A and B are shown apart, each in its own frame.
Chain A
Amino acid sequence: MTLLRRVAPLFALSLLTCAGRARAPQPPAAMPGSDAPVATQPPAFVPLSADSGSGTQAWHPGSPRNQIREAIFTGAWTAVRDKHFDKTLGGLDWDGLRRKYEPLALAAPDEPTFYRLLNEMLGLLGQSHLQVHGPGEEAAPPPDEISSPQTRTAAADAIREAGDDYGDPGLLVRIIEGKPTITRVRPGSSAAGAGLRPGFLVTHIGGRALASLPLSGRALRPVEERFRLRQLAARRLAGPVGSRVSLRCLDENDRPIEVMLERDPPPARAIQVLNMSPVVPEVTSRQAGEVGIVAFNVFLLQPVLGEVQKAIDGFRARGAKAIIIDLRGNPGGIGAMVIPLAARLSTAPLTLGTIVYRDFSNTLATTTSLGIKPFAGRVVILTDEGSASTSEIFAAGMQEAKRAFVVGDTTAGAALGSIIEELPGGAVVQIPVADFRTPKGMTIEGRGVQPDRRVFETRAGFLAGRDVVLDAGLDLAKASRP
Chain B
Amino acid sequence: MIAILLSLLAAAPAQTPLRPAQAILDDYANAIGGREAWQWLRSVHVKRALTVTGQGASGSEEHWATADGKNRSESTLRDVGTFRQGSDGRVFWSQDPVFGLRKLEGAEQEDAHINAAWNAEPDLASLYLAIRSVPVPKQTAAETSTSLECVELQKRQGKPSVLCFDGKTHLRVVQTGVQPSPGGDIPYRLVFGDWRTVKGIKTWYLEKMTAGPTTMEGRITSLVFDEKIPASRFKMPEPP
Contact = CB atoms under 8 A, between A and B. Distances in A.
Interface of A: 1-14, 23, 83, 271-275, 300-302, 305, 334, 336-337, 339-340, 343, 355, 357-365, 367-372, 419-422, 431, 433-434
Interface string B183-206: 111111010000000000000000
Given A7-B50, A360-B185, 18 more contacts: A1-B115, A1-B120, A2-B115, A3-B63, A3-B207, A4-B50, A5-B179, A6-B75, A8-B179, A8-B181, A12-B214, A274-B80, A301-B81, A337-B98, A360-B212, A372-B100, A419-B55, A422-B55
A8 B188 contact: yes
A13 B183 CA distance: 9
Given A8-B179, A9-B182, A10-B80, A433 B98 contact: no
B99 A370 contact: no
A268 to B, nearest CB: 15
B52 interface: yes
A3 B61 contact: yes
A336 to B, nearest CB: 5
B97 A302 contact: yes
A436 to B, nearest CB: 13
> Which 3 A-B residue pairs are closest in the complex by CB-CB distance?
A371-B239, A369-B100, A9-B181
B54 interface: yes
Contact of B55 (A275, A360, A367): A275
Given A3-B207, A334-B80, A362-B186, A419 B214 contact: yes
Contacts of A1: 63, 65, 115-116, 120-121
A367 B81 contact: no
Given A340-B100, A365-B182, A372 B240 contact: yes
A34 B40 CA distance: 61
A274 B183 contact: no
A357 B240 contact: no
A301 B213 CA distance: 20
B113 to A, nearest CB: 12
A11 B101 contact: no
A172 B93 CA distance: 45
Contact of B213 (A305, A337, A363, A433): A433
Contacts of B120: 1
Contacts of A14: 77, 80, 98
B133 interface: no
B213 A431 contact: yes
Contacts of A301: 79-81, 97-98
A2 B174 CA distance: 11
Contacts of A359: 187, 212
Contacts of A355: 183
Contacts of B43: none
A420 B57 CA distance: 11
B55 A421 contact: yes
B122 interface: no
A343 B187 CA distance: 25
Contacts of A434: 212
B96 interface: yes
Contacts of B188: 5, 8
Contact of A358 (B121, B177, B212, B238): B212
B56 A274 contact: yes
Given A6-B115, A10-B96, A359-B212, A274 B79 contact: yes
Most buried by B among A9, A302, A362, A421: A9
Nearest to A343: B100
Nearest to B214: A11
A11 B82 CA distance: 11
Nearest to B52: A11
Contacts of B175: 2
Contacts of B216: 4, 7, 11
Given A10-B80, A14-B80, A274-B56, A3 B115 contact: yes
A339 B81 CA distance: 14
Contacts of A23: 56
Contacts of B65: 1
A7 B188 CA distance: 11
Given A370-B103, A422-B56, A271 B181 contact: no
Given A6-B83, A300-B79, A83 B213 contact: yes
